[in-house]
Structure 1
Amino acid sequence: MDIKPTESELEILQVIWKKGQCSVREVHDELTKSKDAGYTTTLKLMQIMFEKGLLERDASSKTHLYKALITREQAQQGALDKIINTVFKGSTSDLVIQALGQHRASKDEIDAIKSFLDQFEGKD
């Protein structure tokens, strides 16, 4: 499955991942805390996400409840693949160098990165 949600879809998924299962109203209320969003826009986006297979809908009651069909990790992987392929022309090292050069990593984060690289080098 080629999972590449749009930015707006990712905002909706963030709410659903946090809450588990939500109505359109619950998602909309959460989104409006940080941005101006119309209810019908949220509804339409969630209907499109359902059609795309990003969300599951329980229509057994009057209020439809939506649940994510993809995990946060799957969405992150899809977004990362897109960035690596389009922005960095397939170069993972360029991505890492840019990320570390632009954003200050804490000592714990650097230690975790070093540990991961040590484990990665051990895999052949």
Structure 2
Amino acid sequence: MTTNIKSDSNGDLTALVQIADLGGMDAGFEGILAVNPEGCLGLLPPDGQGEVEVVVWPAGTRLTDEGELRSPTGETFAVGDEFSAGGGILEDLRADKGDVVADCVADGEPGAVMHSVGPVGP
């Protein structure tokens, strides 16, 4: 399986990032930047309840040495910050994206693929 995703890690946290824009889905999301038990960055619902949904972040996103997520447009988000994003949910991220996501999700677990990320707007 060919993948268009890389794993960006600072030693403590991991961000799954698109190498090039995967396009496609355009649902809107708002949530809190959170870490799943495997140390991967994802989306927690705005109320802070529930499970962390692992995210494949837009191309150009990077994880800073301080553990912040820097968007392709330059905004930075720390764990616990609210953000908005555009993309969609895949019911089985590993089946769809391959072994590159295996350190973050188990077989059969859903995940999000985002093509944009930014601050929560008014």
Shared fold by TM > 0.5? no
TM-score (norm 2): 0.24
TM-score (norm 1): 0.23
Q: Which has the higher strand share?
A: 2
Q: Which has the higher helix share?
A: 1
- More RCO (CA 8 Å, sep 6+): 2
